[in-house]
Structure formats: structure tokens, C-alpha cells
Structure 1
Amino acid sequence: MRGPSCRGLLCLVALASFTESLAAGQRCPHKLKESVNPPRGWAKHSIPPAEHNIVLRIALPQPNFGVLEKHLYEVSDPYHPRYGAHLSKEEVDGLVAPHQESIDAVDEWLMSYDIKETDFVRSPAKDWVTLTLPVRLVEEMLNTTYHVWKHEGSGDSIVRTTSYSLPENLHEHIDLVQPTTMFGQFKEMKSTIVWSDDTEAPSQSKNVASIHNPATGVPVDASCNKTITIKCLQQLYNAVGFTPTQLSKNTIGITGYLEEFANLQDLQSFYAEQRPDALNSSFEFISVKGGLNNQTLSEAGAEANLDVQFAFGLSHPIAGTFYSTAGRPPFKPDVGTPTNTNEPYADWLDFVLSHPNTPLTVSTSYGDHEQTVPESYARRTCASFAQLGARGVSLMFSSGDGGVGDNDANPATQTCFTNDGRNATRFIPLFPASCPFVTSVGGTQNVPEIAVSRFFSGGGFSDYFPRPWYQDKVVEKYLKALPKGTYEGLFNPAGRGIPDVAAQGDRFRIWLRGVPRSIGGTSASAPTFAGIVALLNDVRLSHGQPPLGFLNPLLYSKAVSGFNDITIGHNSGCGTTGFNCTEGWDPVTGLGTPNFGKLKKLVL
């Protein structure tokens, strides 16, 4: 076991072992690890109780992640000989495992505070350590001071610090520690629900006028310009009459957070109206970190119901799974031991990465402003999504509903400002949609389709992640066509472009708390696209081929002609009209919306 060295400094006493030095009260000096400016809108409120518990997550380095990334791109590239040769859980764990010396160094550091191995949990690859500690001890370990911070707009409160330090010898063995500097407001990506008293089912029959859809040639019921149903999506995306057959192999999952519960009674009402052949079918419920399954009708969640009803309704009879992940920021200042205030998708990732079998298609309709998530944490979380992609999982994330920022017309409440202390105006992309290892889904409306306009499809360019190779051709074409100087300084033209694709995202008819409601947002677009991906997986599986896995290298190459190009619309935000839709890829609707009839041939 290698004892830690105080890099650049001489320890005062030569010690036989690190453990003995700790017993003697000697520790290497702390050195600043990370420091941030508090995001706009957050202000110090109070001091948390000394015994307030923090669920601390420590990330150890993944020295072979570059090798994993190489595998990921090879098995995801339809023109590579290894296409579809996804890795096993064990193979992925081996590629992200830290060096033993990092494990030893972190263990010894924890032991110096009387924290035993039985007091913490390791991830399967041993690249994360999770433990619960009182804030007074965390402050000592990280040489920092935590405060209760309050958000001026929402009133939310969280326990955070703006900087933390680690013993100098540990900097090479620890990538990050959270929650420390993260001020994100993890939220669902949906626009305001339309609370209509009209409960009459939309009329869709042979007697109703239809609209010619030039993108596919398939007629679409005229009612789809007022209300989106499963039948509308099947018509719009050329999937009418397709029935999945690979039911023992294919799966689709929805992630639920922030105490959003998918109600079974509402699902049956939805099926009775829009998918009668699915009546009396259900989904598998999985609790993550104590996530609840409250089936009281009055507790049904609009987001959870929307995601489940349309993803599972569109992909029926493919087996569905709903994950309920516990943890709901914010912290309540008058409670000593609140629920976990970490970003809950980290807990979901821990869970699914520890299991060998995960749904082949997963949709998530939640996210944060990218700049409120520390870059170190965003990169590590993105790396976890890469692990799932390498294992053959397709991940969809909503691109957001605020256009290029927050779509707030009031300058006093806009969040389109940098967090670097300059408060400079800046477009604000969303994370995890900005991660290059997931598929980001924007929103459309109407027949023929245009970019959604009641809210605005999230899109733009990441400030954290550089443009991935699979986007080079289409994004460069888009940027070259922009008039010189357009939004100069407001976005990063070298960043990963958002979104990748789009789907309908407004006027979705769901059942909520016993009655039909109309709802919109890219939180409708992501599960819709996920439903199409599940059908495409069925096509591949029925031909004896592996599932699609990480989609983007395929979408931007062999499958690019399988999308309906959206050329009308824009995504306002930050006091601007945002970017415009145009021929080919654009940072509003990506490559466009899916044409299942074409894609089912292109994916083989």
C-alpha cells in the first residue's frame, strides 16, 4: 500500500506508515480542489445545524475511461465492424475502475476520521464512494463552511458551499466531492398544463377529415392539430399497423423523480380511450433509494403520467419499467436530517449500473441549466451515461422548454447570465441534454410539423462538452450558413450541438387524477421518441441483431435520411428570437422527427 506524499512539501516527521501518522495527528495540508461563484438568484440564508446529515459522494478517477469511450464509439458506429457488439456490465466496470492506489488513499483518508469501510458504500466499479456524515465533520474533512442557500425566485433552500479543499496528496486520487458546489434546480421539462373542462374524447375516425403529411405521405387526422394522441403519433411518424413481436427481449424504461408517481388507474383510463388493446396491462415498478409508489389518485404526477402513458402506449406490448427515485431537493432549514439533496439521477445511475439488465430504451424528462452543475460533476455523470451506452442502452433526454435560455421576457428574472462573476449575457444549454453520450430531443407541433411555439424547444451549444465527431458535418454546415456575427459571444460554436432530434411536444392528451388533461413540453417529446426507438429495437431483434444502444453515431450517418426535416420555427430565449430552423440539422429540432417507415429499413 502506498502511503500518501505531501506533494511539494516536506512532512515534519518521517513516518513508518500513513496510518501511524494519522494516529499521531499528522495530516498533509489541504489544497483548494474546486471553487465556484454562486449562480444568479442564490443568496446565503443561514447556518445549517451541525448534525445536519449530508449524503456525500466521492468520485475516484477512471484512468481507462478513454478506452471505454473508444469501445462505445466502435460498437455504436454502423460502419464499424464491431457495430452492436455491446459490452457486459463486468467489462464496463473493469474499464472505469480506479487504480488500487486511489482506493487505498481514499480509504486511509476516511479512516483518519474514524470512518470504517462498513460506514460507506462503493459502486460496483469502486469508482464512487457514498456515505452519510454530519455537516460538522464534512466541513472539517473538506476544510470548508457550508451554508443554507435560498433561491430568490422559487424560495428553494439547499445546503452548499462555494469551495472545498482536500489534502494535497489526495488531489490525484479524487476527481470530485458532492454535494458541495452544485446549485442546480433539477426539474421536469414541461410547459404549463392546460386545465380544460372539456373531457370529450377527440374524434378520430374514417369520417373525420385528414391532412396530407408531406413528410411521410401518410394521412393524419385533422384533430391532431388540436390534440395529440397515440393514433396521431403513429400516423405522423409512419408507424401505423406495426406490432412488436420480440417481447421476451425488448424493454423500455421511464425515470421518475421529485415524488412524481405514475398512476395505474389513470393509465387504464388512457388505454381505454387511446390504446384499448393495452387494457389491463401494466408496467414493472422499481424503487430506487426508497422511491415511493403512491397510488392515491390525487397524488398522480403530470410528468410521470405523461411519460408512462405515451412511451408505453406507443410501444405496446413491449415491457415497460417505471423507476421511482427518492430524493427531493430542497433542504428544509428547520429539519435536521432531510431527504437526500443530491441530484437524483446520480442515485438512478448508481442503481442501474449495479444491475446486469437494464431497459434497452430509457427516457428522462428532467434536467438542469448546464452552468449550475459543476463541470467536474457534469463530466463524471456524462461518463456514466457512456457506460450505459456501451452496454447497449439508448438514452433520451428532453432538450428543455426555454429556447436558448429561460424564455423569460422580464430582464430582472432572466437566468441568461454567466456564473463566472461577470454576469455576462449568455445562452444557457441544459444538462444532461448537453452530454454527447445521450440523445437530446427537441419539440415540434402541428401538421405539417414546425418547431413548437407555445413554449420554445431547448437548443443551442454546450459550454462544457466539445462538439463530438459525429456532429461535425451537419453542425459546421449550420454554422457556416449563419450570418457573420450572429449572437457572437452568446454561445460556444465549438460546443456539442443540442438537440439531436425532435418529436411532437404540445397538446398531448393524458389522463391525470381521473380526468383528461392537455399538456406540453419536450418532456412529451422525449418519451415519444423513446417509444419509436423501442419499436426500432424490435425490428433489429426480430432480425437476430443486437439492440441499437447509443444512437447518435447512427442517427447522424446511416439513418439521417430517416428523419422529417423541420424548417419552420425558432427557439426564443434570453431576450432574443434564438436560432432558426433550417434545412438539415439545426439547434431547435436537430435532425428532425422520426419516419419509422424509413428508419426500420435503415437500422438493419
Structure 2
Amino acid sequence: MLSLRFVFLFAVLSAFAVAAPAEHTHRVKETVLPPRGWTALRPASPAHTIEIRIGLPQPNFAELEDHLYAVSDPSSERYGGHLSKEEVEALVAPHPESVHLVEEWLASHGLLGDALSRSPAGDWVTVRVPVSLAEKMLDTTYHVWTHTASGTSLVRTTSYSLPEHLHAHIDVVQPTTTFSRFTPMRTTYQSFRANAAVPQSDGAKIAVPYASGGQIAASCNGTITPTCLLELYNATGYTPQVPGENKIAVTGYLEQYANYDDYHEFLEELVPYATDSTFSVVYINGKDSRTLRFEFLMVFPGGLNNQTPADAGIEADLDTQYAFSLTYPTPGTFYTTGGSPPFIPDDLEPTDSNEPYMQASESYALVWLEYVLAADDLPQSISTSYGDDEQTVPYSYATRVCSEFAQLGARGVSIMFSSGDGGVGDGDADPATQECYSNDGTNRTIFIPGFPASCPYVTAVGATSEVPEISAWFSGGGFSNYWARPSYQDVAVTKYLGELAPGTYAGLYNASGRAYPDVSAEGVNFTIVWDLETGLVDGTSCSSPTFTAFVSLLNDVRIASGKSALGFLNPLIYALNAGTVTGFNDITVGNNPGCGTEGFNATIGWDPVTGWGSPNFGILKELVLSA
């Protein structure tokens, strides 16, 4: 008969065996080819610290998507019945087995308790580790990579592995294989052009049938101001009715700071009735990954949104000046996501607390999105004027980011993204001559779709120019290689493709992919104040905050009438344009050259240059009340 001591010892050893799993064989989870222009300099310092985010599968995402379309389709009985934060989190929560196995794996590397942080739904786990440990966990080697043209540096690997038993329980681990640079969507061919004179109208008018009063100041054909946009998009005289209930926001990355002195100078010069306004800043600091307690503050001048004149960002100034002046007195929020400019870690500084580029840009979706998805109260309309080539973002990572936008849409938030400034190309060179190559090792010439504009759960905004409007030559547009065409686009996009000459651009684009942009707005010669100097800028960076402002005004109309906010816009936009009264100004002239081609053409109806066109607020405010 066994002694009690032996039985006790056997039980302890058995329990230890369960708590300490045996080593598992690693198998490659993901391998990518580095995008053109990136060069590996040297192995990363073992002591360099990186923040790793581990995405667990969302087994009920298809159900969330069904809910998203049900509350976003104006023909649905559930239209406008958005889900609560808790309902969305329940739908994206991982399976308990996935949670257990991932935590067991992390514990085997000494990562447990306060070393882990989790998203509210539990579908993301974040750890902060030295490169040496990340390499052991992922059976890989990190290198310092540099982007020749921009000088951007990253610590990345082109392949990583996971224990075989975890492959079904982990969707993605980043930063590992993502080389996206996530830059502002402001045309690189014309940056800020100083122009000290504030544009003045001499009283001359241009006839524009869809504008307020059927005409617009002739000066708007050379310089765009908030007054021009209110006139052009038939919103002159509308005053928001429920400021406070309705809110609008823009995002900022890469240490793009919105300067208050510039903002108030802009208002004094161009929007004098709004000179008493300001905007709030939410500073999202994702550095303390152990607690997931983001340091965020409602900050006014002199706070965490650096107000040194030299630090004013053209992008941030542009976004805040137009989004918030057009919607005055609707409260505006500028989200600034913590991070530092890229640096090259070396032997003297191997453990910089800011993983190169990670905090400020490429993982914006896992810092900014973690924050907003955890928040109870969100602005109903949010604009982002940043993006990159779709192919620089690994499919596994891109799909997870895109699914986060679906969650926001299901909660009633309208998300707008600039469609890009490279026409059908990538915007790194003159669109007429740029080289556009696939990143799959074949170096095929292809059109280069942009991300996140290509995500089917966001509204992509292209650019127009002149008055009356034609397409802006740089307006990004095309077809995703990652996402199939969503059903809300079937009729419109099939019609467009059917009218192309047979064989047009055969092999250069994915005709069955999600097509973009969805809409457009003016994007050339926007008057802004930067560093207390008045000047002009171009880009779909102008178009996205502009369109978002008119969405915010439409939300004001609905909320004032006791209705819900619009939420995910695309099913409504495409449904409206199937009718006889659309609420959009169709842009039929122009094209978006790139990759050595003339690109696609603007035409009657939807097109991959300007989408359905620009908004007519006067008509849309009646249409959205009947939706």
C-alpha cells in the first residue's frame, strides 16, 4: 500500500506537470517579403524593448457583421438600432480555450499577472518585452530596417513562428511583419504654400446649381475657405441644434500637434462668428502597456498637445480648422496618439522606451482603437487623414484592424478615411511615372490600393477640385486585393466595370475587390493657418475632415429630431444613390493617373475616382430624416 507521503508527492508532481506545459514545436505563422525600399541594416539589440500585441480569434465576428449591416441598412427594420459597448464586446470575445492556452504560453515565458494587459473584450493581449525574449517566443530574429526614401526606421522581422497548438488560437502578433509607414494623406507634390493674403471675394459669382442659392463666390475657384464649402455643399445658414449631444473628432499621429494659436488666427480671419470656440484634446498614451490604463486628458492650450510654434503640424492644423469650424458650435475633439519620431536604436540607446514608429503610426489601430473601443462615450463622426499602401500591411493584421472599425460602426460611429493621394498608385512619385510593383515576389506591375480606405467598414473620401467640381488628379481610388466587394456595392460597381472598354487595365487591379472611394469632397487650395502664417494645402487630407463635418451636421439633424446617429454610412450612401434623389453631386470629369497609366475615369454614377461625388447637405438633411 502506498504511503501518504508518496501519494502527496505524486499529486504535487502531477499538478506541476499540468502547470508547466511541455515544449511545443514551433511552426511558421506568417512570412512576408519586405516592401520595396526597405533595407535590413543589422540585427536589433537584444535589450531593445518592444510592445507585442497578440490578437485572439473572434469566433462570433460574422454575427457582429450581420448586426452591423442590420443597423446600417435603411431598408432594415433595425436601422439605427446600434449596439451597446457591452453587446459589441460580447460578440468579439475570444473562446475561453484560446484565452487559457495563450495565457499558459505567456506564463511559460514568465509573463503573467501585471505583465499582461487585455482589451475590454479580451481579444487582444499586450506584453512589453526585450527583443531577446520576443525572438525566443516567436522563434525569429528581429532586425533594424530603414526606408530609404523617408529615413523611417523600424525593428521588424519578415517571418515568425508559434507553437503548433497555438496557431488556431492566435490570429496575429505585431509588431513583427508590418512595414506600413502610415503617412498623412497630403499630396507630396504641393505642400504648404505660404500666401499671407487672406482670400477676399470681389462679389463675382459662379453659377453652381447645387450650391446654396445656386451660385458661389468666384474666389472659391482659386482658394477654398469654410464659407466656400458651406456655400458649395448647400449648407449656408444651417446652425447646429444639439451641440453637446452631437460631437465630432479628428485623429493625429506622428507628433502632429494641433496648434491653438493657429486655430484662433484661422477663425479670426475666416470664421469670425466662431472666434470664441476651442476644441478638446484627448491624449492617448499607449506606453504603459502593462496596465492598459491609458493616460488621457481633456487638455487646453499648453497641455500635452505641444503648443511650441515649431511643433505645429500642417496635418493637425488642417484637420481641426476645417472639421471644427464647419460644425461650430458642435464640440470638437482632437485625438493625439502618443509616440515619438522614428529613430535608429544603436549600442548607445538600445532600450528607447518608444518602439520605433510603433506608438505613433503603424499600430495606431491598436493604441487609438483600444482607447476608443474601451470608451463609453464616443463622438458620432471621426475623420482620419492617414494611410499607406494596402500591401505593406500583412493581411492578418489588416483584417483585424478592419474588424475594429466594424465594431465602431455597430456602435453608431461614422468613420471616414482619406482615400489617398497617389491616384491608382502609391503616391511616392509623380503619378504619371511612378513604378507600381506587387509585393509578392513576382514584381508584377499592379495598381496599389490604399489602406485603411480599402476596408469595407469605413467610408473612403476622395478629392475634387475647382468650381464647378471635377476630380482632383491625385484622388486615390481603385479596388482592394484583400477584401471582396461588399454587397452594398454590387450594383454600382458592376455597372461601372461593365462600361469600361473590354480589357482595360487587365491584370492591374482586382475587379472583384472592395471598390473605393465611396464619396468625395474638395481637396485643392485649402486656406489654413500654420505657424501663424496663411497658406494653401492640397490632398485628400482636406477632403476627409470636410466630408466628416457635413456628416456631423447630418447627425445633428437626426439627433435633434429624436433619431439615432447615422453610424456606418456606406449601406445608406449606396441605397440613396439607387434612388432618383441622391443627395450627392455627381462628378463626371477627370481621372486619377498613376503607375504609368491614365488611371480610372470619373463618370456618371459611382466611379473609383470620386465615388458618388460630394455632399448636398440641403437635400441630404431631408433624406436622412426619412431613413
Question: One-letter code of the match for 2:277?
Answer: S
Which of 327, 330, 333 lines up with 1:315 in the alignment? 327
CA distance in 2, matches of 1:467, 1:16: 56
Mark the CA change 1:603 to 1:197 in structure 2 (over 3 Å): closer, same or farther: closer
Report the CA distance between 1:575 and its aligned residue. Answer: 1.0
Question: One-letter code of the match for 1:380?
Answer: R
1:417 paired residue number? 437
1:336 maps onto 2:356 in alignment: no
Report the CA distance between 1:348 and its aligned residue. Answer: 0.3
2:173 paired residue number? 177
Which shifted more, 329-338 or 129-138?
A: 329-338
Alpha carbons 2:423, 2:431 under 8 Å: kept: no
CA distance in 2, matches of 1:559, 1:480: 18
Report the CA distance between 1:429 and its aligned residue. Answer: 0.8
Mark the CA change 1:328 to 1:427 in structure 2 (over 3 Å): closer, same or farther: farther
Alpha carbons 1:442, 1:589 under 8 Å: kept: yes
Mark the CA change 1:318 to 1:575 in structure 2 (over 3 Å): closer, same or farther: same
SS at match of 1:444: strand
Question: One-letter code of the match for 2:538?
Answer: G
Matches within 5 A, 1:337-376: 337-338=351-352, 339-340=354-355, 341-342=357-358, 343=362, 344-376=364-396
Alpha carbons 1:57, 1:131 under 8 Å: kept: yes
1:573 maps onto 2:615 in alignment: no
Alpha carbons 2:432, 2:595 under 8 Å: kept: no
SS at match of 1:555: helix
Mark the CA change 1:409 to 1:115 in structure 2 (over 3 Å): closer, same or farther: closer
Which shifted more, 333-342 or 237-246?
A: 333-342
Question: One-letter code of the match for 1:297?
Answer: P
CA distance in 1, matches of 2:244, 2:47: 49
Q: Deviations over 1:243-301 (max 9, x none)?
A: 00111310000100000000111111111111111112111110001684101122110
Question: One-letter code of the match for 2:400?
Answer: R
1:562 paired residue number? 583
Matches within 5 A, 1:35-114: 35-114=31-110
1:9 paired residue number? none
CA distance in 1, matches of 2:377, 2:14: 43
Matches within 5 A, 1:56-455: 56-192=52-188, 193=190, 195-204=192-201, 207-216=202-211, 218-289=214-285, 292-328=304-340, 330-334=342-346, 335-338=349-352, 339-340=354-355, 341-342=357-358, 343=362, 344-407=364-427, 414=434, 416-453=436-473
SS at match of 1:511: strand
Q: Deviations over 1:458-512 (max 9, x none)?
A: 0000000110010000000000001111111100000000100000001000000
Which shifted more, 96-105 or 214-223?
A: 214-223
CA distance in 1, matches of 2:366, 2:265: 33
Question: One-letter code of the match for 1:566?
Answer: I
CA distance in 2, matches of 1:563, 1:118: 52
Q: Deviations over 1:426-469 (max 9, x none)?
A: 1111110000000000000111100113xx10000000011001
1:516 paired residue number? 534
Alpha carbons 1:40, 1:415 under 8 Å: kept: no
Question: One-letter code of the match for 1:508?
Answer: F
TM-score normalised by length of structure 1: 0.94
Report the CA distance between 1:47 and its aligned residue. Answer: 1.1
Aligned length: 585
Mark the CA change 1:108 to 1:280 in structure 2 (over 3 Å): closer, same or farther: same
CA distance in 2, matches of 1:474, 1:23: 57
Report the CA distance between 1:359 and its aligned residue. Answer: 0.6
SS at match of 2:102: helix
Report the CA distance between 1:595 and its aligned residue. Answer: 0.4
Mark the CA change 1:52 to 1:373 in structure 2 (over 3 Å): closer, same or farther: same
1:458 paired residue number? 476
Alpha carbons 2:431, 2:594 under 8 Å: kept: no
Which shifted more, 422-431 or 285-294?
A: 285-294
Alpha carbons 1:21, 1:27 under 8 Å: kept: no
Report the CA distance between 1:28 and its aligned residue. Answer: 1.2
Report the CA distance between 1:17 and its aligned residue. Answer: 6.9
2:496 paired residue number? 478
Mark the CA change 1:23 to 1:304 in structure 2 (over 3 Å): closer, same or farther: same
Which shifted more, 66-75 or 290-299?
A: 290-299
Mark the CA change 1:250 to 1:18 in structure 2 (over 3 Å): closer, same or farther: farther
CA distance in 1, matches of 2:89, 2:16: 29
Mark the CA change 1:127 to 1:539 in structure 2 (over 3 Å): closer, same or farther: same
Alpha carbons 2:144, 2:344 under 8 Å: kept: no
Question: One-letter code of the match for 2:536?
Answer: S
Alpha carbons 2:433, 2:596 under 8 Å: kept: no
Q: Deviations over 1:341-362 (max 9, x none)?
A: 3322321000000111111000
CA distance in 1, matches of 2:78, 2:15: 46
Report the CA distance between 1:410 and its aligned residue. Answer: 7.2
1:534 paired residue number? 552
Q: Deviations over 1:93-140 (max 9, x none)?
A: 000000111111000000001111210110000000111100010000
Instruction: Using the aligned pairs only, state the percent identity.
Output: 56
SS at match of 1:463: strand
Question: One-letter code of the match for 1:581?
Answer: A
SS at match of 1:603: helix
Report the CA distance between 1:152 and its aligned residue. Answer: 2.1
Alpha carbons 1:54, 1:132 under 8 Å: kept: yes
SS at match of 2:576: coil
CA distance in 2, matches of 1:407, 1:394: 26
CA distance in 1, matches of 2:154, 2:390: 18
1:496 paired residue number? 514
CA distance in 2, matches of 1:264, 1:65: 41
CA distance in 1, matches of 2:450, 2:15: 43
Structure 1: 5+ residue stretches without partners: 1-14
Alpha carbons 2:426, 2:450 under 8 Å: kept: no
Which shifted more, 568-577 or 332-341?
A: 332-341
Alpha carbons 1:55, 1:133 under 8 Å: kept: yes
Report the CA distance between 1:373 and its aligned residue. Answer: 0.1
CA distance in 2, matches of 1:536, 1:411: 35
Q: Deviations over 1:164-214 (max 9, x none)?
A: 11001101110010011101111000024555453121113xx51000003
Report the CA distance between 1:145 and its aligned residue. Answer: 0.8
Mark the CA change 1:244 to 1:108 in structure 2 (over 3 Å): closer, same or farther: same
Report the CA distance between 1:411 and its aligned residue. Answer: 10
Alpha carbons 1:407, 1:572 under 8 Å: kept: no
Alpha carbons 1:581, 1:588 under 8 Å: kept: yes
Superposition CA RMSD, Å: 1.8
CA distance in 2, matches of 1:59, 1:551: 27
Which shifted more, 426-435 or 399-408?
A: 399-408
Alpha carbons 1:408, 1:575 under 8 Å: kept: no
Alpha carbons 1:409, 1:574 under 8 Å: kept: no
Mark the CA change 1:462 to 1:19 in structure 2 (over 3 Å): closer, same or farther: farther
Mark the CA change 1:409 to 1:324 in structure 2 (over 3 Å): closer, same or farther: closer
SS at match of 1:567: coil
TM-score normalised by length of structure 2: 0.91
